[in-house]
Amino acid sequence: MSTGRRFFMLFKAAALLQVALAATFSMAQTASIVMASTTSTEQSGLFGYLLPEFTKATGIDVKVVAVGTGQAIDMGRRGDADVLFVHDESAEEKIVAEGHALRRYRVMYNDFVLAGPSADPAAVKGSDIAEALKKVVAAKAGFISRGDKSGTHAAELRYWQAAGVEPSAVAGYKACGCGMGPALNMAASLGAYVLADRGSWLSFKNRIGMAVLVEGDKRLFNQYGVMVVNPARHPHVKVLEAQKFVDWVTSPAGQGVIARYRINGQQLFFPNAAK
């Protein structure tokens, strides 16, 4: 083989190796996971602030499917997500007990509020959610429910139970089967009451004529948890990348990002992974 041909073959091999290395590097740079999450974390703007920081730290992209917590947990059961970020503690503990998800980690909390017309026709204003719902019933006032098996919907049903009321018997009760944003918009347009997480309320732009009327009841506490979907049940789950997200969001770095997220100077979520 001539010197020129040997040089050409070596050059070609080097070029192919460079292409292969570049492709490998590109794949590493575009590693991604699917996260099924409650709509409140998405619609509040938290993920738009939090996830770019995670990607910057790890090179892992996160594709969010924002649905009600019940639907997100069902996605975990089917193996349609790598990680779950939700807020219904009993449902979270159940999916871990079933073996569809690994350990549940606390991440952050905020609270639920009962919002409604500023004029408060049912006179619900106060700090007792059960008493407030009884007044909604007595006044035959409108009430918009998520009705979507979300964490907010599950909490709402607990509060109706505490009030001793069957929601389907409430005259003005409407279940929209929708996310938090649309439910708030419906309540605003109809002059109805609605249960919302505070993060979604603070990020809600259509608040003219609406106000927070019930807050401060310890039952309104709203804890968020995060879990990796179990690869023993769903072998295609990207367990290493998903665990990296869990480790980061519960670390001082991730917790700090959550604490810094604010709207109009107000903090929406309070990190508590280490507590």
Q: Is 17 within a domain?
A: no
Question: Chain-wide mean pLDDT for the chain?
Answer: 90
Looking at the structure, tell me whether residues 205 and 258 fall in a common domain.
no
Looking at the structure, tell me whether residues 115 and 204 fall in a common domain.
yes
Looking at the structure, tell me whether residues 125 and 103 fall in a common domain.
no
Q: Is 9 within a domain?
A: no
Q: Is 227 within a domain?
A: yes
Q: Is 16 within a domain?
A: no
Q: Is 8 within a domain?
A: no
Q: How far apart are CA 81 and CA 8, in angstroms?
A: 48
Q: Is 127 within a domain?
A: yes
Residue 168's pLDDT band, with cuts at 50, 70 and 90, is: confident
Q: Express each pLDDT in 26-70 by its tens digit.
A: 444 469 999 999 988 988 999 999 999 999 999 999 999 999 999
Residue 219's pLDDT band, with cuts at 50, 70 and 90, is: very high
Alpha-carbon distances of 207 from 116, 149, 172, 187, 251, rounded to whole Å: 10, 25, 21, 10, 35
12: pLDDT strictly greater than 80: no
24: pLDDT strictly greater than 50: no
Residue 186's pLDDT band, with cuts at 50, 70 and 90, is: very high
Identity at 177, one-letter amino acid code: G
Looking at the structure, tell me whether residues 87 and 211 fall in a common domain.
no
Looking at the structure, tell me whether residues 54 and 69 fall in a common domain.
yes
- For residue 135, the domain's CATH number is 3.40.190.10
The reported pLDDT for the residue numbered 84 is 98
Looking at the structure, tell me whether residues 204 and 78 fall in a common domain.
no
Instruction: Look at the chain and report how many structural domains it folds into.
Output: 2
Domain end marker among 189, 204, 220: 220
20 is written with which tokens? Answer: 């292969």
Instruction: Identify whether the C-beta of residue 115 lies closer than 8 Å to the C-beta of residue 193.
Output: yes
Tell me what the mean pLDDT of segment 68-73 comes to.
94
29 is written with which tokens? Answer: 């740079």
Q: Is 244 within a domain?
A: yes
The reported pLDDT for the residue numbered 221 is 97
Q: Is 67 within a domain?
A: yes
Looking at the structure, tell me whether residues 213 and 227 fall in a common domain.
no
Q: Express each pLDDT in 234-269 by its tens digit.
A: 999 999 999 999 999 999 999 999 999 999 999 999
* Owning domain of residue 230: 27-109+223-271
Residue 2's pLDDT band, with cuts at 50, 70 and 90, is: low
The reported pLDDT for the residue numbered 169 is 82
* Global pTM value: 0.84
Q: Which residue has the tokens 């507590």?
A: 275
Looking at the structure, tell me whether residues 196 and 251 fall in a common domain.
no
Looking at the structure, tell me whether residues 41 and 89 fall in a common domain.
yes
Residue 204: strand, helix, or coil: coil
Domain end marker among 179, 202, 220: 220
The reported pLDDT for the residue numbered 197 is 94
Q: How far apart are CA 46 and CA 66, in angstroms?
A: 12
Q: Express each pLDDT in 98-152 by its tens digit.
A: 999 999 999 999 999 999 999 999 999 999 999 999 999 999 999 999 999 999 9
Looking at the structure, tell me whether residues 73 and 200 fall in a common domain.
no
Looking at the structure, tell me whether residues 114 and 165 fall in a common domain.
yes
Looking at the structure, tell me whether residues 201 and 118 fall in a common domain.
yes
Domain end marker among 179, 205, 220: 220
